[in-house]
C-alpha cells in the first residue's frame, strides 16, 4: 500500500507582515559609524604590524610563527565581521588584543637586545622590529578601548517600522 502523496502548500505572508521593515537605529548614529571604522582600522593595522614582524623576523622567530599567522588571519576575519555590524566579535577582539599586547610587551626588549654578538640578523633590522613590536602595544590598548566602546553602542537593537509610521522595539538577542 502506498502512502498518500504529500503536498507542500505555499502561502504568502500575512497582511500584518507586509508593511514591516526592520531598522537598526543605533547603527545609523555618527558615533557608531565612527567607532566601527576605528575598530576596523585598528584590526587591520594590528594585522599589518604583526605581518611585518612575522615576515621581517621569520628567521629569528622561535616557536611563535603559527600563532602570529593565526593572529593575522583572525584580525582580518574579525575586521570583515565588524564591517558587517557583527557585534559578537568585539569582545573576542578585545580579549585577543590583551593577549597580543602582553606578548608584544614581553618581546619588545628581546628585539632590541639582538645587537650583541652571536645573534643571527633577521631580514629587517632588529631595532626596526623592536620598534614595530613596541607599536603593537598601544595599538592593542586602543583596540581594546574602542572594541568595548562599540560593544556598548548596542548595534544589535532592532525596531520594527510599519508603513503607518508606528514602531515596536524588538527584544535584543541575548
Per-residue pLDDT of the chain (174 residues; tens, 9 = 90+): 666 667 665 555 554 555 778 888 878 889 989 999 999 999 999 999 999 999 888 777 777 788 899 999 999 999 999 999 888 999 999 999 999 999 999 988 887 777 777 677 777 788 898 899 999 999 999 999 999 999 998 888 878 887 776 666 556 655
Q: How far apart (Å, rounded) are the C-alpha atoms in residues 47 and 29? A: 27
Q: How far apart (Å, rounded) are the C-alpha atoms in residues 24 and 22? A: 7
Report the predicted TM-score, pTM, of the whole model to 2 decimal places: 0.79
Burial class (CB in 10 A: 0-12, 13-18, 19+), 149: middle
Matching residue, cell 610563527? 65
Would you say 104 and 68 are in contact if contact means Cβ atoms under 8 Å apart? no
Q: Number of C-alpha atoms within 13 angstroms, CB side, residue 136?
A: 31
Amino acid at each position: 500500500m502506498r502512502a498518500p502523496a504529500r503536498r507542500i502548500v505555499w502561502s504568502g505572508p500575512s497582511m500584518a507582515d507586509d508593511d514591516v521593515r526592520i531598522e537598526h537605529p543605533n547603527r545609523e548614529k555618527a558615533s557608531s559609524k565612527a567607532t566601527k571604522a576605528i575598530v576596523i582600522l585598528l584590526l587591520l593595522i594590528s594585522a599589518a604590524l604583526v605581518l611585518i614582524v612575522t615576515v621581517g623576523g621569520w628567521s629569528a622567530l622561535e616557536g611563535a610563527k603559527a600563532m602570529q599567522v593565526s593572529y593575522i588571519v583572525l584580525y582580518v576575519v574579525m575586521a570583515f565581521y565588524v564591517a558587517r555590524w557583527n557585534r559578537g566579535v568585539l569582545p573576542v577582539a578585545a580579549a585577543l588584543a590583551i593577549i597580543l599586547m602582553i606578548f608584544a610587551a614581553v618581546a619588545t626588549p628581546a628585539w632590541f637586545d639582538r645587537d650583541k654578538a652571536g645573534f643571527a640578523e633577521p631580514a629587517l633590522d632588529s631595532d626596526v622590529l623592536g620598534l614595530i613590536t613596541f607599536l603593537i602595544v598601544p595599538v592593542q590598548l586602543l583596540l581594546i578601548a574602542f572594541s568595548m566602546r562599540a560593544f556598548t553602542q548596542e548595534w544589535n537593537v532592532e525596531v520594527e517600522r510599519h508603513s503607518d509610521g508606528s514602531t515596536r522595539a524588538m527584544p535584543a538577542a541575548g
